Amino acid sequence: MLATLARLAASLPRCTTRVLVGDGVSWEPPAGVELVRVPRGRERDALAVAAATTDWLLVVAPETAGILEQRLCLAHASTCRVVGPTAAFAALAADKHATIQALAAAGVPVPAGRLLRAGETPPAGFHLPMVRKARGSVGCDGVRVIHDRDQDGGPALGEERLEAFAQGLPISVSLLCGPAGAVPLPATMQRLSSGASPHYLGGRLPVPARVAARAERLAGRAVFALARYVPEPPDGPRSLVGWMGVDMILGDREDGREDRVLEVNPRVTTSLVGLAAFCRENLLGALLKVAGGEIPELAFDLPPADAPRDFAASPCPA
């Protein structure tokens, strides 16, 4: 994903791009992109300097342990334009249980579930199969699918979200968000490993045409519903800005009654890798336009339905 972002940035006209990476990360930027090595323990200082000396800042970080929230808070305190939501929005989206509660209150379909406190075990009568996930995590980290009540995983070590397993197609929809609204991008199929502890492997394009429009509408409902729960100061940054990813399960019913939203990711997601390969425009340039208040028209040359293309989730090597 970092390589794709850097490549898109390098091809933007009249732009100078700098990428901040940890000192121990083995990665070479494309031509035209300046690499800034950040010593261990100096990340916040380096981010503050970058924010003070740039026009646009895009934060790429996980929600785990408040990392994304803290970086966004620091970025928004500067004078640069942040291509991302407020820290408060990121904090809400990072909390899987609070996100589901907010979506449910707004009428967005979500899996039935509850919070598991540290030391608690799943209730004896909870629906099977069930899913356990850390209350704050990224992707499939710590996700467990449980089919046997005798193997429910035992007491929670920390707070967890417990929910009924939703059967259907795992879909992700990304939206480019800004002051003028949101631009939904083509839905992508999520590729997950099998077994009790699934891992995210990447995506696939295109998704079946019968569900694509339905998924995009549901994603829009989810992000705007979540944004309504975040207070916005009159002169402060808008909550709903930047790249938003919505993960969902689409059921068999065409009326959407079996569809369920699982989570909202307030950051650039791996879907960028696949979508950028088929977008006729520069997708990063489009993101900057939307963050600046425009609504561009985007076109995609997606592969045919009978010859889908996979893209991989490949983290930057340490």
Q: Which residue has the tokens 């100096």?
A: 42
SS3 call for 17: strand
Specify the amino acid at residue 65: A
What does the pLDDT look like over 87-136, one tens digit per residue? 999 999 999 999 999 999 999 999 999 999 999 999 999 999 999 999 98
Task: Please write the tens of the pLDDT for every residue from 231-261.
Answer: 876 666 788 999 999 999 999 999 999 999 9
Residue pair 59/75 in contact by the 8 Å Cβ criterion: yes
pLDDT of 317:
42
pLDDT in tens, 7-57: 999 999 988 999 999 888 888 899 999 999 999 889 999 999 999 999 999
Collapsing DSSP states into helix, strand and coil, what is residue 33?
Answer: strand
Q: What percent of the chain is modeled with pLDDT above 90?
A: 80
The CA distance from 115 to 135, in Å, is 8
pTM score of the predicted model:
0.94
- CA-wise closest residue to 112 among 88, 92, 128: 128
Can you tell me the distance from the alpha carbon of 78 to that of 75, in angstroms, rounded to the nearest whole number?
6
Instruction: Compute CA distances 206 → 31, 66, 209, 286, 300, whole Å.
Output: 31, 33, 8, 20, 11
Say how far residue 272 (Cα) sits from the centre of its chain. Answer: 10
pLDDT at 103: 98
In terms of phi and psi (left: phi > 0; alpha: psi -120 to 50; beta: otherwise), the region of 239 is alpha
Residue showing tokens 């700098």 = 18
